[in-house]
């Protein structure tokens, strides 16, 4: 499989390394080479099976417009752009392209989402209040993180009244990612925590997602397909 990686930040570099480890051909474009998505022409994109974007909220929408217009398959690891999701979904559907997006490509985080849902269902109406705290590196642009917002939305889907709180977001050094969900009552508390020791879990998930998407078209949320993604190509 030929993989085009957009973005050469710390996660983008690791995505390229993981893709190479898994036997794929890899080409990486940095922001200067791809200013305003200028490099993403149909002849160039046609040489790749899938595109993986780990750029910035400002760049990703232009990249998506250019790639999806050609019918390309795109995995997006960038967050902070979901106000344009409906537009990008429509473009992917019209062009027969593939779009897979997600706030977090770590299998551990996806399991935390399932545990969040189960906890909310079990505690609904039992007098618990919730809080979420997240910590990331200082260069992360969106705050709160997309993962923290997804945890909150997962709660809200089960118990809307329980999810009306502000998320505490911290930006510290080179922190890879820490998310903590607490449920507290007068009698006790329950805490769910996911701590990333490195960005490798995100990179591996994104590459697995690209392998999965390479033979498909349509628009997918990673949390809906992660079991299929991690079950394929082990």
User: Which residues touch 194 (CB under 8 Å, ≥6 apart)?
Assistant: 106, 108, 109, 112, 177, 178, 179
User: Which residues touch 217 (CB under 8 Å, ≥6 apart)?
Assistant: 71, 73, 92, 96, 97, 98
The answer to whether 47 and 69 are in contact (CB under 8 A) is no
Q: How far is CA 173 from CA 8, 134, 145, 232, in A?
A: 19, 14, 16, 35
Catalytic residue list contains 179 = no
Residue 145: closest CA among 103, 105, 199, 111: 103
What is the model's pLDDT at position 161? 92
| CATH architecture label of 2-103+200-231 | 3-Layer(aba) Sandwich (3.40)
Q: What is the pTM for the complete model shown?
A: 0.86
What is the location of CATH 3.40.50.720 in the chain?
Answer: 2-103+200-231
For residues 112 and 36, what is the distance between their CA atoms, to the nearest angstrom?
36
Q: Would you say residue 234 has pLDDT above 90?
A: no
Q: Would you say residue 233 has pLDDT above 60?
A: no
Catalytic residue list contains 24 = no
pLDDT > 70 in the chain, percent: 99
What does the mean pLDDT of the chain come to? 94
For residues 67 and 219, what is the distance between their CA atoms, to the nearest angstrom?
14
What is the model's pLDDT at position 80? 86
**Which is more confidently placed, 122 or 10?**
122
pLDDT in tens, 114-172: 999 999 999 999 999 999 999 999 988 789 998 999 999 999 999 999 999 999 999 99
What is the location of CATH 3.30.360.10 in the chain?
Answer: 107-195
pLDDT in tens, 16-67: 999 999 999 999 998 889 999 999 999 999 999 999 999 998 899 999 999 9
What is the model's pLDDT at position 32? 87
- Looking at residue 81, the DSSP 8-state letter turns out to be -
Joined together, the tokens standing for residue 122 give 């079990």
What is the model's pLDDT at position 91? 98
**Catalytic residue of the set 24, 73, 136, 194:** 136
Alpha helix (H) residue ranges in 4-106: 10-21, 42-45, 57-68, 85-95
Mean pLDDT for 194-203 is 93
pLDDT band at residue 232 under the 50/70/90 scheme: low
User: Which residues touch 35 (CB under 8 Å, ≥6 apart)?
Assistant: none
What is the model's pLDDT at position 51? 98
CATH assignment of 107-195? 3.30.360.10
**Catalytic residue of the set 140, 170, 194, 234:** 140
What is the model's pLDDT at position 176? 86
């Amino acid at each position: 499989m030929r993989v085009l990686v957009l973005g050469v930040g710390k996660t983008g570099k690791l995505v390229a390394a993981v893709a190479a480890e898994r036997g794929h051909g890899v080409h990486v474009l940095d922001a200067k080479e791809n200013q305003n998505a200028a490099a993403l022409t149909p002849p160039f994109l046609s040489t790749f099976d899938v595109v993986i974007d780990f750029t910035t909220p400002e760049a990703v929408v232009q990249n998506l417009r250019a790639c999806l217009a050609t019918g390309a398959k795109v995995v997006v690891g960038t967050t902070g752009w979901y106000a344009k999701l409906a537009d990008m979904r429509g473009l992917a559907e019209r062009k027969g392209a593939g779009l897979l997006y997600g706030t977090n490509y770590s299998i551990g985080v996806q399991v935390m989402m399932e545990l969040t849902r189960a906890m909310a269902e079990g505690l609904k109406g039992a007098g618990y209040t919730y809080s979420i705290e997240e910590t990331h590196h200082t260069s992360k642009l969106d705050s709160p993180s997309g993962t923290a917002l997804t945890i909150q939305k997962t709660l809200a889907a089960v118990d809307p009244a329980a999810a009306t709180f502000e998320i505490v977001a911290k930006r510290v050094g080179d922190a890879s990612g820490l998310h903590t969900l607490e449920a507290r009552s007068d009698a006790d508390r329950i805490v769910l925590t996911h701590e990333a020791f490195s960005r490798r879990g995100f990179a591996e998930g994104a590459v697995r997602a690209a392998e999965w998407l390479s033979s498909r078209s349509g628009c997918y949320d990673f949390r809906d397909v992660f079991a299929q993604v991690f079950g394929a190509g082990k």
